[in-house]
Chains A and B, each alone.
Chain A
Amino acid sequence: MPLVQKIFFYSISTIIFVLILELVRKKRLKENYSWLWLLISILLFLLINQYEFLTKIANLLQATPTAVLMFMGIIALLLLVLQLFLINSSQSVQIKNMAQKITLLEGRIANKS
């Protein structure tokens, strides 16, 4: 991998890693939502280091190592989107239950008065 590309990907992975840690430290991102981001940045870092492994996958897919890296990035983003949908789905259920509880409690209060 050309040095410029290496530096680019190292920078990206480091920026993601530091940014996520900083967001968690400032309590702007919850720990349970940060793990996938951190994992992705670490994997990116390791893949750039393990260039031979990357080349093997690239040969298998008949693509360049850089294209493989980009493709993996897209997969990682899809995983992040999936995680968001999972969180969203579980929160929808929680919001539904909470709204129903409020409705029932308000009804109980209104009918007593």
Chain B
Amino acid sequence: MKKVVIIPAYNEQPRIREVIKKIISLDSSLDIVVIDDGSLDKTAHVAKEAGAVVLTHPFNMGYGITLQTGYKYALENAYDIVIQIDGDGQHDPRYIPYMIEAMLSKKVDVVIGSRFKTKTQYKASINRRIGTVIFASLVTVIIGKKITDPTSGYQVITKRVLSFLTSEAFPYDYPDADLLIILHFAGFKIMEFPMEMLQNKNKRSMHGGVLKNLYYIFKMFMSIFLVLISENIIKKKER
């Protein structure tokens, strides 16, 4: 089975080497691809030196598009399993084999690393916690399966999902809770895997700033609403 780890990265020069080294020491057979989203520092150079394949966006395009570039790479190179982790060192690679094992044994298409499935040391800010609880509840109700961490960027996915994730159906503007709902309605099976995540005090969150937070909430509600409408339309047409 061909496996690849995709790491979206933007200005991760101080952290990216450590992330790559940890993955290599865990399993040297894993291919590692860093997608540098037009970093202003030497992220790409450091990642290449550390042993990763590096793809560099010509300019900064955002987290979702960076992830999708990784999916497109995986699809082009016929990988069977894609592991996505963030480049900021928050995700511990030691969970990778367990997540893959869970995916294969439970026959699911997406495994999400969850910070909140079991009690861990991870402490989210109050805003983030409230947001996560709201969207997690929403996803849980809609897909009928308990989801505790819809914003987690630590995921393992099968090749079956890749052609979907590389299409225009992929919500590349913050692919979080809405993506899980879209994947569920598209017929993919999702499960969560409990894990401990490390705090990163040196880095700003991608949802940082009042305006960004407000936009995120607006976008997520609208996206979920539109997915539900589309789903109803599809169901009505099928009847």
Chain A positions near chain B (C-beta within 8 angstroms): 93, 96, 99-100, 102-104, 106-107, 110-111
- Give, as a whole number of angstroms, the nearest-CB distance from A60 to chain B: 33
Cβ-neighbour of A104 out of B59, B65, B69 (below 8 A): B69
- Digitize B46-78: 1 where CB-to-A-CB distance is under 8 Å, 0 elsewhere: 000000011111110100010011001100100
Chain B's closest residue to A111 (CB) is B53
Give the residue name and chain of the A residue nearest to B53 (CB). Answer: A111
Known pairs A93-B168, A96-B172, A100-B72; A107 contacts B55 (CB<8 A)? yes
Best-buried of B59, B69, B168 by chain A (most CB within 10 Å):
B69
CB-CB under 8 A from B20, the residues of chain A are none
List 20 additional A-B contacts (Cβ < 8 Å) besides A93-B168, A100-B57. Answer: A96-B61, A96-B65, A99-B58, A99-B61, A99-B65, A100-B65, A100-B68, A100-B72, A102-B58, A103-B35, A103-B58, A103-B69, A104-B55, A104-B69, A104-B76, A106-B55, A106-B56, A107-B54, A107-B56, A110-B54
Interface SS of chain A: helix, strand, loop or mixed?
Answer: helix
Bound-state CA distance A104–B54 (Å) is 10
Q: How far is the CA of A106 from the CA of B65 in the complex (A)?
A: 17
Bound CA span A96–B57, Å: 10
Q: Which 4 A-B pairs have the closest CB atoms?
A: A107-B55, A100-B69, A103-B55, A103-B57
* Interface residue SS majority, chain B: mixed
A104 CA to B230 CA in the complex, in Å? 32
Q: What range describes how many residues of B lie at the interface?
A: 10 to 19
Which residues on B sit within 8 Å (CB–CB) of A110? 54
- Choose one: A96, A99, A102, A104; the contact of B73 (CB below 8 Å): A104
**In the complex, A99 Cα to B35 Cα: how many Å?**
12
Residue of A nearest to B68 (CB): A100
Contacts of A99 in B (CB 8 A): 57-59, 61, 65
Inter-chain CA distance A44–B61, complex, in Å, is 42
**A110 nearest in chain B by CB position:** B54
